[in-house]
Structure 1
Amino acid sequence: MPERIYNFSPGPGTLPYSVLQEAAVDIVNFKDKGIGLIELSHRSKEFMAVAEETENLIRELMGIPANYKVLFLQGGASSQFFMVPMNLLKADQKATYLNTGVWAKKAIKEAKLFGQVEVAYSSEDITFKRVPRDDEYTVAPDSQYLYFVTNNTIYGTQFPTMPNKEAMLIADMSSDILSRPVDVSKFGLIFAGAQKNMGPAGVTVVIIREDLLDRVDDKVPTMLKYKTHAEKDSMFNTPPCFSIYCVGRVMNWLKQTGGVAAIEKLNREKAALLYEVIDSTEFYRGHAEKESRSLMNVAFNLPTPELEAQFIREATAVGLDGLKGHRSVGGCRASIYNAFPREGVEKLVTFMADFAKKNG
């Protein structure tokens, strides 16, 4: 096998190498039982133990209260754009949304199919360069919930702190879940696609307060009710077994690393290295305003599109892969999720300084 490259892709993101090694063995011979992991029945005692361990680790690492359910669903985080309002919002009710990027905008479009949507804040007119402060928007007293995206992968923005409003919070944490401590009790529902910070693509983790399960209308299809999956411990149908297993192994890795507080410290250090080199020269220009900068996705531009293409090409040649920015903003983007190693960031920072010196 050639030397591993550094994967700066926004998703699927890099996974701990130890997890990949463990999965490589278990996928052929799970715990020396003579059967591969992906051949196991989802109702076997072996896989039921995997699912239980995975849930328990998520609960432990996030400090999830007992009155919340942890669900393993399919359909990606995009399915949650409609499942949230389908389960929690009726036609004559109002919900508040913050439009801070592509994924928030898509969620707003879906929510309008089910109820009244009030967009209390939008940064679309400035290419989503920032997220709002609490004093920049209001939430109506009759709003059922406040929906927001904690970290915006495309634009490299992130809520530095969670909104402090008299409203039930609903959050898409797909790209920064478990990257910093969060008080789950402040939320009605949290969801995250696994493929950025938790594991491979294929499973979406939903954390929902139990009392919300009964809000759903009887006319909602069975598979699209959170209550259906909560009552069957995510085993109503065959779940994404391999993805759940991998999430469990990543959670175990995170626990051994020191937990969420420890990984936050590492994440802040990694991001600081990148932002320091961006701020040290006019050659690089960060997309996000400083107060809204993401610890997970660092988006930046070079003086010209031609230099950006050259930068990406030369970086790829030395093992720094996945740095091309999203088509909507162009430029470059370094995604440095929990499992991304510090040495990869250090190598990128050195490359950036050399590139600027040669081409500035």
Structure 2
Amino acid sequence: MTTVKRRALLTAGLGAALSAPALAAAPAQNGSEVRWRLASAFPKNLDILFGASEALARIVGEATDGRFAIQVTGPGEPVTADGLLDAVAAGTVEMGHGPATVAPGKDPTLALATALPFGLNARGQNAWWLAGGANDLFAELFAKNGLASLPGGNTGAQMGGWFRREIKTAADLQGLKVRIGGLGAQVLAKLGAVPQAVSGSEIAAALEAKRLDAAEWIGPYDDERLGLQKAAPIYHYPGFWEGGAMLHFWLNAETWKALPKPYRAILQAAAAEVAADVQAKYDARNPGALRRLVATGAQLRPFPQDVMEAALKAANDVYAEIAAKNPDFRRIHEAMKTFRNEEYLWFQVAEYTYDNFMIRARARG
């Protein structure tokens, strides 16, 4: 079904739920009108990510004939990316869009809602969240932080980022100043790297000024739009710290509870459409972007096996340390590992063998 058809059904079906009697009974802020603010963690020139918030606002506005209006702002207007979850929880804004990893000082368990090194791939993360029990596992944790959430898209497996020099062994990470956040930063720190907190819009300048030796963002399409290829030549892969990063539309818990049910249903349906579109757009646009990057000088390099193995060991050490002090992390991480093992049991039978055959067939021409 096309996006246009899905949106027509959404507008027709849920618009019917917003009949005059329903609106009359809806206890909204201004009679039958609701005005919200949605802060995005992403720069405005990233049309897939920032565009996801704009699309959500547009769909909700169309479905409610403008009665539920959402104003979208970018980082620093006035909410910064790393302050996004706190701002939503405090009611500074009613909604936010970004990964759980944008709040480095919060409970590390939150990171599991988006991605963690050597966690689930995109299909696994979506399956765990939508049908595998993750939503229930996180509900209490989010509520403790004054939050609720709706899935807001997945980037798919990310790239390892842009490096000034090639990483040939794990020892090459020693002392390397790398832009990276979340639990991935803790893993690379164990390997001797020096993680740096740099916002997406500032990465290219930091690389060019040699304040960074390397930086990861997302993947070819967005990296190209940020101009990262101009500042460092080596493009490593994969981004093992985010094998399938799920973004979220974050909601202030109390505001979400108070939202009239018809509006809540529309917001949920709109978020589901936007989430599907985010991953579809990345899958459709990354191939062309990768070709352009290589054509203009990007040097693709896989992380060597010993780097991957060293990173996996470091990741497991980090998780053991966190779990020893954090019961929520231990409980949800164990559930994620169980689900991941079951997913790969299935993927290795049909998905992997099919994809492996087709990849080899393509290589043969």
Q: TM-score, normalised by structure 1?
A: 0.27
Could you say which structure has the higher helix fraction? 2
